[in-house]
């Protein structure tokens, strides 16, 4: 799960078309001072790291958000165009207590690129096991410093991480009748963690879950290590979990085992049909009511979680707010009358 983090500074200066020489001279020092102030601010931002990027490295303390801890790459497997399944291992003695809330789904860690001292957050698919292993599905982006750096690493190489950091907390109180997760590309990672820790473990048994995942082509779909557990659980627990996969295009020569792929993008019709299908009445005498029932998101207490490319997020739920805050609900979900309390954008 990757988000842009670079801040951009824009300095605007307005000049009146009617200024005499004296007024121009009086304004010039102020304008120069303003430019110098913004220049100093920009220089400070780019050349002096913030507290997180300047966090120290500790080889003796337990894993923590306040410092970096060395770990080792134990596996790095290519699994599609520009993607890899990468497994990291941290010595078990450095693991915090497993019952800490920071390890409650959904959480992530920061990986630091030692070459340029930049860090990026990544979500471990299955959390961390007792042996200290964490597995990630990571895509290499042309301008992604850390992702390209990670892809260049080999088994046995040592890197530094810090965390865990809570991304979003699942509350086990059955407050939601339905949870609809919508992901694109590697944005499936937080939802797979939720599936591994919550959905497949029978937590919140009355809540129904739906995962809608989209990739541009079959070759860019998640690896079988992710897809097969999801599809198998959905087949065995249709009343608990629904899983649907979408691709923009499908070549006739593409072969995808044990997985039904839908061609097209996730849109309003997709959401409505998924919610209605997941909410289908189990009693035969209620079937006639299903056809005439109106979709009522608020009454059924449906939660929408989204993680993926910004264009997808914007189309379905409206753009992020300033500094990647949640922003107001827009797009398809606004049309469906979803409120801000029912939508969360990762």
- Strand 69-80 and strand 158-166: pairing? antiparallel
Binding positions are 120-122, 139, 146-147
3-class DSSP state for residue 345? Answer: strand
Q: Is 178 helix (H, G, I), strand (E, B) or coil?
A: strand
DSSP string, 273-331: HHHHHHT--SSGGGHHHHHHPPP-TTTTTEEEEEES-HHHHHHHH----GGG------H
- Max CA separation in the chain (angstroms): 87
**Given phi > 0 = left and psi -120 to 50 = alpha, else beta, which region is 258?**
left
Q: What DSSP letter does each residue of 105-121 carry, written as one string?
A: SSEEEEEEETTTTEEEE
What is the number of H-type helices and E-type strands within the chain? 8, 12
Sort strands 178-184 and 208-215 into parallel, antiparallel or unpaired.
Answer: parallel
* CA angle 310–198–174, rounded 5-degree value: 95
Residue set of the binding site for FAD: 120-122, 139, 146-147
Taking CA atoms, 249 is separated from 214, 226, 252, 259, 263, in Å, by 11, 21, 10, 15, 6
Q: Which residues of 181-215 are buried (b: 16+ CB within 10 A; e: fewer)?
A: bbbbbbbbbbbbbbbbbbbbeeebeebbbbbbbbb
């Amino acid at each position: 799960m990757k988000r842009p983090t670079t801040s951009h500074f824009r300095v605007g200066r307005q000049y009146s078309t009617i200024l005499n020489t004296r007024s121009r001279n009086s304004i010039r020092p102020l304008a120069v001072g303003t430019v110098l102030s913004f220049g100093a601010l920009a220089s400070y931002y780019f050349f002096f790291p913030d507290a997180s990027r300047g966090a120290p490295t500790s080889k003796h303390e337990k894993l923590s958000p306040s410092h970096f801890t060395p770990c080792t790459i134990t596996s790095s497997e290519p699994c599609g165009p520009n993607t890899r399944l990468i497994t990291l291992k941290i010595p078990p003695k450095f693991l915090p207590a497993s019952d800490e809330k920071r390890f409650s789904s959904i959480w992530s860690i920061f990986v630091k690129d030692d070459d340029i001292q930049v860090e990026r957050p990544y979500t471990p698919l299955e959390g961390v096991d007792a042996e200290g292993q964490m597995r990630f599905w990571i895509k290499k982006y042309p301008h992604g410093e850390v992702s390209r750096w990670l892809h260049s690493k080999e088994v046995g190489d040592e890197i530094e991480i810090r965390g865990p950091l809570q991304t979003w907390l699942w509350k086990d109180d059955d407050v939601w009748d339905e949870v609809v997760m919508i992901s694109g590309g590697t944005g499936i990672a937080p939802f797979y963690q939720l599936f591994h820790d919550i959905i497949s473990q029978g937590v919140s048994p009355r809540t129904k879950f739906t995962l809608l995942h989209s990739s541009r082509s079959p070759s860019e779909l998640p690896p079988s290590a992710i897809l097969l557990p999801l599809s198998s659980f959905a087949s065995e627990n249709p009343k608990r979990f629904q899983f649907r996969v979408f691709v923009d295009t499908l070549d006739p020569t593409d072969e995808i085992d044990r997985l039904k792929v839908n061609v097209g993008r996730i849109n309003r019709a997709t959401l409505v049909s998924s919610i209605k299908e997941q909410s289908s009445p189990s009693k035969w005498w209620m079937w006639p009511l299903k056809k005439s029932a109106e979709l009522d998101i608020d009454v059924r207490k449906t939660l929408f979680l989204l993680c993926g490319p910004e264009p997808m997020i914007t189309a379905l739920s409206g753009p992020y707010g300033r500094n990647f805050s949640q922003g107001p609900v827009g797009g398809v979900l606004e049309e469906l009358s979803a409120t801000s309390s029912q939508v969360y954008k990762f």
